[in-house]
Amino acid sequence: MPDPSETVRRANAADAEVLARLRFEFRAGIADAVEDEASFLARCSGWMRERLESASPWIAWVASDAGGAVFGAVWVQLVEKIPNPVGEPERHAYLSNLFVRPSQRGRGHGSRLLSVALDECDRRGADAVFLWPTPESRSLYARHGFTAAGGRMERRSWHAL
Ligand SMILES: CC(C)(COP(=O)(O)OP(=O)(O)OC[C@H]1O[C@@H](n2cnc3c(N)ncnc32)[C@H](O)[C@@H]1OP(=O)(O)O)[C@@H](O)C(=O)NCCC(=O)NCCS
Question: Mind listing the pLDDT tens digit of every residue in the chain (161 residues)?
Answer: 667 678 999 999 999 999 999 999 999 999 999 999 999 999 999 999 999 999 999 999 999 999 999 999 999 999 999 999 999 999 999 999 999 999 999 999 999 999 999 999 999 999 999 999 999 999 999 999 999 977 888 887 776 55
β-bridge partners, 120: none
- 141 Cα–ligand 1 center, Å: 9
CB-CB contact of 134 with 100 (8 Å): no
| Encoded amino acid at 97, one letter | N
pTM for the complete prediction?
0.94
CA dist 64 and 144 (Å) reads 22
| 32-70: pLDDT as tens digits | 999 999 999 999 999 999 999 999 999 999 999 999 999
For a mutational test of ligand 1's pocket, the pick from 62, 77, 98, 136, i.e. the residue with the most ligand atoms closer than 8 A to its C-beta, is 136
Cβ of 2 less than 6 Å from ligand 1: no
49-53 contacts at long range (C-beta below 8 A, 24 or more positions apart):
49/13, 49/16, 52/11, 52/12, 52/13, 52/15, 52/16, 53/12, 53/13
β-bridge partners, 62: 9, 73
The pLDDT, as a whole number, for residue 1 is: 61
**Three-class secondary structure of residue 32 per DSSP:** coil
CB-CB contact of 72 with 113 (8 Å): yes
| Encoded amino acid at 12, one letter | N
CB-CB contact of 125 with 91 (8 Å): yes
The pLDDT, as a whole number, for residue 159 is: 64
Cβ of 139 less than 6 Å from ligand 1: yes
